[in-house]
Structure 1
Amino acid sequence: MEKDEFFLKRIRELANLSWQRDIVTFSDFLNLNEQNIVSSLKHQFPQIVMETSGGYENAERQMVAFHPDALAFTWEYPIDCLRIEPKALKFSEELSHRDYLGALLNLGVDRSVIGDIVVQKKAAWFFCQNKMTEFFLENLCRVRHTNILITKVEDSDEFPRPVLESVSGTCASVRLDSLISLAFKTSRSSMVSYIEGGQVFVNGKLITSNGYEPKDGDIISVRGKGRFIFDGISHQTKKGRCSVRIMRYV
């Protein structure tokens, strides 16, 4: 409870500071639950615009920017993208998201300064608060037993692009529990505890109803499982079931 109260206090401080000084203020990188809390507070600050970015399209961990509605100058999020690759590809290990995150946190930094980590083949990209960029460039030398090179990505065209896997199947109705079951190849009943336990978000909004019906294009995130895009109903089968398509992040 104390952690939640501290978080709420910090968000209110950032919103009030933005309004009082007519400046842009930024949160740390927030997880989906924290983003949902911030969204629920918007009505308390009608004079403040709250926007989010994680540094690239469809980022999960995002930073919130607070600024007055009539702000007269342009601004940018204080986010940098860094790329990690092995020094010697021949002797490199197969590294996972957990390996990269562990290597970063072992440097003694807080998770809140790090955004998404995108792993593709033998390389990884991660987003961080730009005040931490030089620290990471100077101190991250190894991930597990693999010696690495780390560089700042200057061109946004070189940012990672999500890799999506198409999943098709049928369900009796387009309910949240049915879609999650299809996406992660598990029983519908096993997903109930995730939904009712506050582990499922649709477009960053917490959803706790099993019967919630997502719309085409909605991004559904399940903590500990992953996320996917609901790509809609293609047709009805002869037995009246919905044939749906899902694009799952891999």
Structure 2
Amino acid sequence: MSLFDHFGKEERPFVERALEMLTQVERKQAMRLTDFLDPRQLFIFRSLSSQVHDVCISAHGGYDGAERVRAILHPEYMTVDPEDYRLALLRIHADQRFHVFEHRDVMGALLNAGMKREKFGDMLTDAEGSYAVVAEEVADYICMQVTQIHRTSVQFERVAWEAFSPPAPRFAEKTITVPSPRLDAVIGEVHHLSRAKAVVPIRAGKVKVNWKIVEDPAHALQAGDMVSLAGFGRFKVLEIMGPTRSGRLRMNVGLVT
């Protein structure tokens, strides 16, 4: 069995790049810093570390519990300092009395400014404020170029990590009933799509479960799974609560806001 058989076909270009980086660190005995990785990509790096000798993977996203992180690949004898991750914390100043920013509002503004998704990490928003964790090399550009989010004037400002208290994750919770925990059934119920319409983006590779593309509509979801549908956002399966009297399955899901 080939090494690549352990990963999806759409993941193979990333696997090749990751293995190349690990091999370079082994050969040159020098640190390498990645762009931001989602949890699946970090898992791939750590899975591949068995293919090289004496290479460690350290990861940090700016705060404990960060979803997206930058990783440093380094020989075992080298120590990593927090500043080596080259992370900048930006606070977004705006009048949010009429529209509290959501995760996708901030992400859309950064993408529209020409940023690659790999250059920014978590975006954290609540009624008290909005923050973006970004790569140090693009922080000044964002502060100068991004002046509007969702038709609201904004100003990005660097802030010190010491003064940062991350907002708790925000979910808009809802209870649904489905005939089964199948991916197509749950996506259809959450996003008000018929099962036939829910199958189309799944088959097209536009659905991820725990950051991995899943193309099987019959894939059974479990509590804790994070599901994303391109163009619709993400939701988390918070709880599977058991059958109703009619035999359908009650589930509690949280839409990421």
TM-score (norm 2): 0.73
Aligned residue for 1:210, secondary structure, equals: coil
Checking the alignment, whether the CA contact within 8 Å between 1:141 and 1:147 is kept in structure 2 is no
Residue 158 of structure 2 corresponds to which residue in structure 1?
152
- 8 Å CA contact 1:81–1:152 kept in 2: the answer is yes
Gapped runs of 5+ residues in structure 1? Answer: none
2:246 corresponding residue in structure 1: 239
Cα–Cα, structure 1 residues 97 and 245, in superposed 2: closer, same or farther, change >3 Å?
A: closer
Residue of structure 1 equivalent to 2:4: none
Tell me the SS of whatever aligns to 2:51.
coil
1:78 matched to 2:86: yes
Mapped contact 1:173–1:241 kept (Cα < 8 A): yes
Structure 2 CA distance for partners of 1:248 and 1:105, relative to 1, 3 Å: closer
Secondary structure at 1:239's aligned position in 2? coil
Which shows bigger deviation, 114-123 or 92-101? Answer: 92-101
Cα deviations across residues 93-134 of structure 1 (Å, max 9, x unaligned)? Answer: 876767645654566554432234444458532221123334
What is the aligned length? 240
Among 231, 236, 253, the residue aligned to 1:229: 236
Alpha carbons of structure 1 residues 9 and 211: separation in structure 2 relative to 1, 3 Å: closer
CA distance in 2 between partners of 1:91 and 1:177 (Å)? 37
Structure 1 residues 224, 66: closer, same or farther in 2, change over 3 A? farther
Q: Percent sequence identity over matched residues?
A: 25
Q: Deviations over 1:182-206 (max 9, x none)?
A: 2223222211122121112222222
1:1-250, aligned counterparts within 5 Å?
A: 10-30=17-37, 35=41, 39=44, 42-43=47-48, 46-47=51-52, 48-50=55-57, 54-55=61-62, 57=65, 59=67, 62-68=69-75, 70-76=76-82, 77-86=85-94, 89=95, 100-101=106-107, 104=110, 109-120=115-126, 123-137=129-143, 139-140=144-145, 142-143=147-148, 146-153=152-159, 154-155=161-162, 157-250=164-257
Matches of 2:180 and 2:237 in 1, distance apart? 13
SS of aligned partner of 2:224:
coil
TM-score by length of 1: 0.74
* Amino acid in structure 2 at the alignment position of 1:228: F
Q: 1:45 to 1:198 in 2, by over 3 A?
A: farther
| Residue 42 of structure 1: how far off its partner (Å) | 3.7
**Alpha-carbon spacing, 1:51–1:127, altered in 2? closer, same or farther (3 Å):** same
Q: 1:109 to 1:219 in 2, by over 3 A?
A: closer
The alpha-carbon distance between structure 1 residues 23 and 10, as it changes in their structure 2 partners (threshold 3 A), is same
Structure 2 Cα separation of the partners of residues 247 and 90 of structure 1: 23
Distance in 2 (CA, whole Å) between partners of 1:98 and 1:235 is 32
Structure 2 residue ranges without an equivalent (≥5): 1-10
How many Å apart are 1:40 and its aligned residue? Answer: 8.3
Residues 175, 214 of structure 1: 8 Å contact kept? yes
Instruction: Report the more deviating stretch, 43-52 or 158-167.
Output: 43-52
